[in-house]
Amino acid sequence: MVFFMALFTTDDRDAIKAAMVTFAVSGIATVTVGGQTVTVKSLDELRRMLDLVNADLASDQDHLGLRMIKLVPPAAG
């Protein structure tokens, strides 16, 4: 079995969320993720960063971020 190691941590995710709140209040935010500090002037940038970090953290789980479901048509019940 192949195991993946996440590049980001939950602290990185929390830092982005805090920066989103700061941005909502002041219109500009600085966030440090993975040892790099970025000044953000767009909420969309923060959303994309958060999506990237969440996807990376999900890939570190046993299910690799995938959800398996079984589809059953209504008449097959």
Give the residue among 61, 49, 58, 66 at the shortest CA–CA distance from 12.
49
How many Cα atoms are found within 13 Å in the side-chain-facing hemisphere of 73? 2
- Containing domain of residue 15, as a range? 10-60
Residue 69 lies in a domain: no
In a domain, 22, yes or no: yes
Residue among 12, 19, 25, 26 nearest 55 (CA): 12
Residue 74 lies in a domain: no
- 76 in a structural domain: no
Q: How many independent structural domains does the chain possess?
A: 1
- Residue 70 in domain: no
Domain assignment of residue 71, yes or no: no
> Quick check: helix, strand or coil at residue 44?
helix
Give the mean pLDDT per block of 10 residues along the chain (77 residues): 69 89 85 82 86 82 66 75
CATH number at residue 46: 3.30.1580
Prediction pTM value: 0.61
- The pLDDT of residue 61 is 64
Predicted confidence at residue 8, as pLDDT, reads: 84
